[in-house]
Amino acid sequence: MIEDFFQRTRAMFDLPKGVVYLDGNSLGAMPKSARERVLHELDESWGRELIRAWNTAGWIDLPARVGDRIGALIGAPKGSVVAGDSTSVNLFKALLAALELAAPRKVILSDSGNFPTDLYVAEGVCRLLGRGHELRVVDPKAVECALNEGVGVLMLTEVGYRTGRKHDMRLLTEKAKALGAVMLWDLAHSAGAFPVDLAGCGVDFAVGCGYKYLNGGPGAPAFIYVRPDLQASVAPALSGWMGHAAPFAFELGYRPAPAVDRLRVGTPPVLSMSALDAALDVFEGVDMLALQERSIALSEDFIRRIEADCPELQLASPRDSAWRGSQVSFRFTEGYAAMQALIARGVIGDFREPDVMRFGFAPLYIGFSDVEMAARTLVEIVGRRLWDRPEYRARNKVT
């Protein structure tokens, strides 16, 4: 039954033959629907309708439409998520809004497992405000202890990109809010990977990525969530015309649009947002809990195989699946070269400094035979030192 279900979702993707794709945590595979949709938007909408397509093809409503579809996967009510911009830019928007609500508190608390762009953006926001704001970065395990009444915004990524370690969203949100802090989550490695309950957890702001588990394509638009009852008090820092109450009134002064639409900035990238919209078709009828169970089963199988036959590698991810996202990481001193050797044999994962080999398990298109193939290939590469070649050590720009 469940096997049949995932066979069907796999058939919705266009994957090259002979490739085992374990990098959906970084760039999701291509749904056939996304390809068809982009071709349609090019040939029919842009090509034939030209500028009329903003109305006739519904381009103008894409950010809200795609936002709502993503919202359904992350426990966000309709009208609370809007798609657009990159995750970094959305984080900038959310963080400025969150700090304004948190005033006079000036501390942003985050952790050292966070993705660097999140920390860089927070640094920039502190500098830009020029009012003594401070980014405090602690170990992921020390976040709960570091929360106190001085913290204005707790800014965390639910799943750490390096090890796949997962925070307890419910507990940390509850604790942050009880202490009067504003809660901002980055769902880059959560959305489309397992159930998220933004509304149920009382999260204030969230952002996330369109090109990882949501399969929206390279550089796909990201998304931003604002808790419904906060939306009216958000004064957008990036107050662009698409976030205006009446963009086509062309008024001289800015008036924010109602609700989350005020977090739109400029003209949406229609082609890539259409790809993301169509990619979300794959999630129709998918039970996120079943998806998570499948991801855990695949991950456990991979861990078991590697630990049994490849003692050179050390598990870097939490052993308990309750504290893992949908990826498994192993440490290996020659991890970069080993990953290149693996990729050369058609098993695609990636590498993060200094020694982490990452394997993402996107159950919509990865099955147990893929896990078996990947593990067997990796065991052979490490066991027979097949990674030990100069061409596998040469670093590419993107690792």
Catalytic residues: 115, 186, 211-212, 358
Write down the residue that tokens 């925070």 correspond to: 167
DSSP of 340-364: HHHHHTTEE-EEETTTEEEEE--TT
CB 71 within 8 A of CB 80: yes
- Residue 117 in contact with ligand PLP, rule: CB under 6 A: yes
Interface with ligand PLP (CB under 6 A), residue total 13
Distance CA 76, CA 224 (A): 11
Distance CA 346, CA 36 (A): 26
Distance CA 120, CA 354 (A): 19
Torsion sign over Cα 92, 78, 270, 209: positive
Nearer to ligand PLP, 70 or 222 (CB): 222
- Residue 87 in contact with ligand PLP, rule: CB under 6 A: yes
Contact characters 333-372, ligand PLP, x per CB under 6 A: ----------------------------------------
- Residue 209 in contact with ligand PLP, rule: CB under 6 A: yes
CB 110 within 8 A of CB 136: yes
Among 118, 204, 350, 370, binds ligand PLP (CB under 6 A): 118
Among 77, 88, 368, 386, binds ligand PLP (CB under 6 A): 88
Q: How far is the CB of 375 from ligand PLP (least distance, A)?
A: 25
Q: Which of 211, 207, 214 is nearest to 88 (CA)?
A: 207
Residues 285-304 that bind ligand PLP (CB under 6 A): none
Contact characters 37-66, ligand PLP, x per CB under 6 A: ------------------------------
Nearer to ligand PLP, 75 or 160 (CB): 160
Cβ neighbours of residue 227 under 8 Å, at least 6 residues apart? 80, 198, 199, 202, 203, 204, 205
Q: How far is the CB of 34 from ligand PLP (least distance, A)?
A: 17
Q: Among the candidate windows 32-40, 81-89, 261-269, 341-349, which touches ligand PLP by CB under 6 A?
A: 81-89
Nearer to ligand PLP, 164 or 236 (CB): 164
Distance CA 82, CA 64 (A): 5
In three-state secondary structure terms, 73 is coil
Structure tokens at 187: 């769902």
Among 186, 204, 277, 370, binds ligand PLP (CB under 6 A): 186
Among 157, 215, 321, 340, binds ligand PLP (CB under 6 A): 157
* Positions in the binding site for ligand PLP (CB under 6 A): 86-88, 115, 117-118, 157, 161, 186, 188-189, 209, 222
